[in-house]
Amino acid sequence: MLLSYYADNSRPVSIDGKPVILDIELTTDVPIFMPPYTCFGSQVDALDKKLTELLAKNEIHRIDSKYNIAVILTHHNSSQKHVTSENKELRMCLDPRIILIS
């Protein structure tokens, strides 16, 4: 399912009321796997908080898979550049480069 990003939420993209599904044709049986990026202390807490929030909103789901894509935490926007780090809003971004170079 493809998700569209809006400033206040993300919603499934649909055509004629049906969710759009993205199929990726794989060229190998080797699972796509990226080791997670290292994060420490407050980054771990922020990531746990964001994952808990997205799970509660039913926007992501727990799965058991040999495939993965690493995530990156980044500051939400440049208007927060003068805000202390513990008060900055963070967003979680997927890093799809492994798919693009495979």
Q: Tens digit of pLDDT for each residue in 29-64?
A: 888 888 888 888 888 888 898 889 888 887 777 878
Residue 97 sits at the vertex; the CA angle it makes with 95 and 102, to the nearest 5 degrees, is 140
pLDDT given at position 1: 45
Is 0.75 surpassed by the pTM of this model? no
Q: Extract the runs of DSSP E, i.e. beta strands, from the chain.
A: 3-5, 10-12, 14-15, 18-19, 71-75, 90-94
User: Residue type at 50?
Assistant: K
